Structure 1
């Protein structure tokens, strides 16, 4: 983690990048390789648990941001919509242009970024988590402004509730029952409460790259074997908590330049890889793309390149615009 007033957790950013790549590889046929390597012992990896890590990490980072400089709901909405919306909408329309289909209500809900809140499908299907990441933290903002009055026992009880809920959701996913809304609620909630309980002491938990690395390796192992041994997923949320808490001020393997690059591009990787896959299928045909593992590797490299372009020419300029828009009312209030 950079010191001072930086809002970036370098080790955690790198982990986020690796997990985004795993989500991409899952959709590009990673489980086929897992089946072959394990001789059929492991039929599929639970790579979608990456999103549960994202939820907890988002809750932790947002709680820290809200506690340091609480925005009002209006400024939060502007910053969050500008952070998540442009690339989401760009990839949505590219997905539609590549042949994806949806009924009128689903299309409208996707354009408004509310589909997951009302139980509808996401057209660019990895983006199901984006409406939940957009709207649910607003409740966290309200809570952060009041939680200093909460007794510690209430915070501990809330933490245990969120941790238990996250464990139930991860185990349920291993048993092929996906409770997406609850995964978001408990994951974001766990991140928020975790910051409240350990945020002031996070510097004392850091500086342990070996412990953080072991925690992240165990997370990846559970994702690999979770479908074969569902009860192993009981350990997933506690390991996420420990890894984030110790990794917040740690610099290790995930703080190296390649992992940091993936971390910067992680949101773009998460959203662009399906449009890239659909476009390749339209140009070359599903049979060619689906049966050629070498081409899938090339496609993954192409998706990373597109993600870099989207980060450089969409996310970065919009982030600057967001900062200028949010800063203007604050300067006006100060005069």
Structure 2
């Protein structure tokens, strides 16, 4: 979805609705919250093996992609400084110019890292109590409104600190928590065996998502910014739509056969590479002398991104994750009840949109 949003200009000169697919990043935050919900609700877990798995999941392919973007980035007196700050996920702490300097899609990585860092503390605070998650959600909805109310533009030369917080976890945690609610609801309804409510929820989520997409296609970012409530909660509404659709799909897809599951895991394994490399491919295409018809250009770029993602997975990601799991297993406490959950989370999440 995000690749299509960034490549929409290749398909049509007026990509209004296709640009709305940037909200795929909101879907990712929901999925991330869903996958790590068992850890959040666990009451506590072994931190060292969890941290090792997260590092070896996130860092290796990122460290491969970052020098490639450095090579094609424009010259700037701050270029090396930006590189060093991106290495420690601080590239979104000064404004849009630095955040988007190498790869605009990188902006969501610090949010994900912050969620990983906060998760052990959240697990202790929540201690398996859903009402605490609800309280956190309500509290951070208020925080989000206050941030947006006082934030200047992130794209301005000198954005204020509220603008910075808007693109970090204080402004985005509520979207992860939507995924936690989806996990709890799915556990409840999957045990009951009833599919009507998940199907209705999925249909309602699609209707909400489509309404938001049509609004964006007609009014764009200015239309969102014209209303304080929409400006504050448009992404949250998208996350709710995605969460409802995810809930519905989980109910429908329980009977997937082995081949379908293998296909899903294969595509999931490519997702991080697609996230990291799609802007690289699009920029290289724009700099080339190729003048392909729009649809063909889109297909060629998409295939190139998939090939890079496939190579990255087999040459870097899979070996690094395997090593990380082996290293983490040395520090896994005996009879730790969440070992299988951590492994499931590590296997299921495509890491970052």
TM-score when normalising by structure 1: 0.72
1: CA distance, partners of 2:183 / 2:300: 43
Deviations 1:158-185 (A, max 9, x none): 3344567779999xxxx99984225532
C-alpha contact (below 8 Å) 1:222/1:236 kept by paired residues:
no
Deviates more, 1:228-237 or 1:86-95: 228-237
**Cα–Cα, structure 1 residues 159 and 270, in superposed 2: closer, same or farther, change >3 Å?**
same
C-alpha contact (below 8 Å) 1:91/1:271 kept by paired residues:
yes
2: CA distance, partners of 1:292 / 1:149: 51
- Residue 156 (str. 1) matches residue 130 (str. 2): no
- Residue 138 (str. 1) matches residue 114 (str. 2): no
Deviations 1:81-132 (A, max 9, x none): 2111111121111112234555132221112222225544142220111121
- Residue 185 (str. 1) matches residue 144 (str. 2): no
Aligned pairs, how many? 301
Pick from 240, 243, 248: which aligns with 1:241? 243
Pick from 211, 215, 221: which aligns with 2:210? 221
**Cα–Cα, structure 1 residues 44 and 269, in superposed 2: closer, same or farther, change >3 Å?**
closer
**Which residue does the alignment assign to 2:7?**
28
Partner-residue secondary structure (3-state), 1:115: coil
Deviations 1:159-216 (A, max 9, x none): 344567779999xxxx999842255322224434x26854652524875675476356
**Which residue does the alignment assign to 1:11?**
none
C-alpha contact (below 8 Å) 1:167/1:235 kept by paired residues:
no
**Which residue does the alignment assign to 2:329?**
327
- Residue 114 (str. 1) matches residue 93 (str. 2): no
**Which residue does the alignment assign to 2:348?**
none
Partner-residue secondary structure (3-state), 1:269: helix
Pick from 267, 272, 283: which aligns with 1:267? 272
2: CA distance, partners of 1:69 / 1:293: 50
Structure 2 stretches of 5 or more lacking a match?
156-162, 225-229, 337-353
C-alpha contact (below 8 Å) 2:202/2:246 kept by paired residues:
no
Partner-residue secondary structure (3-state), 2:92: helix
Partner-residue secondary structure (3-state), 2:121: helix
1: CA distance, partners of 2:26 / 2:137: 16
Report matched runs for 1:9-88 at 5 Å.
22-29=1-8, 33=12, 35=14, 42=16, 45-67=19-41, 70-88=44-62
**Which residue does the alignment assign to 1:280?**
285
C-alpha contact (below 8 Å) 1:124/1:274 kept by paired residues:
yes
Shift of 1:65: 3.8
2: CA distance, partners of 1:80 / 1:155: 23
2: CA distance, partners of 1:289 / 1:271: 24
Deviations 1:298-318 (A, max 9, x none): 111221122122222222211
C-alpha contact (below 8 Å) 2:41/2:128 kept by paired residues:
no
